[in-house]
Amino acid sequence: MSGTNYVSQDTFEKMKQELHQMKTIERPAASKAIAEAREKGDLKENAEYDAAKEAQGMLEAKIKYLEGVIATARILDESNIDASRVSILTKVTVTNMNTNKSVTYQIVSEKEASLKDGKISVTSPIGKGLLGKVVGEIAEVNVPAGVLKFKVEKISV
């Protein structure tokens, strides 16, 4: 895990709770499942044991990933966000110049991104393309389907 993960205080608290849940509830449950499967006999032909070990490995990988995200997290205070330019945690209303449709996105970290909630990642093509833009400016965004042009209509926190 490299780089800084910019998150809101709310997301940081959710990540800490998720990590606590994995360490205190899910990890002991995985160990118990392995112990129960081990008691069932020959480990070479014990599919239940193999599945329990694999599940434990995936859980440990998730724990390690989340620990890395939390360790590199930088909590952003929404009261300190400059709304004169598009930046992380700002809400930006843009008009797609090709379709003339307006949409509002909140620029967030990868961990918080949810398109159905209107939250796009700062590392997504559209997020990257909008960063630093001001009201009235046109952002040209390279996406797999080609180049999209967005006019920044409004920026808020």
- pLDDT at residue number 28: 94
**Residue 149: which of 101, 87, 85, 113 has the closest Cα?**
101
pTM for the structure as a whole: 0.66
Helix locations, the chain, DSSP H: 9-21, 27-38, 47-71, 125-130
Per run of 10 residues, the mean pLDDT along the chain (length 157 residues) is 72 92 94 86 78 92 92 80 84 91 89 87 89 91 87 89
Q: Which CATH architecture has domain 5-76?
A: Orthogonal Bundle (1.10)
Pick the CATH number of 79-156 from 3.10.50.30, 3.40.50.300, 3.40.50.1580, 3.30.70.3270: 3.10.50.30
Domain ranges in the chain are 5-76, 79-156
pLDDT 10s digits, 87-124: 888 899 999 988 999 999 999 888 788 889 889 988 88
- pLDDT at residue number 123: 87
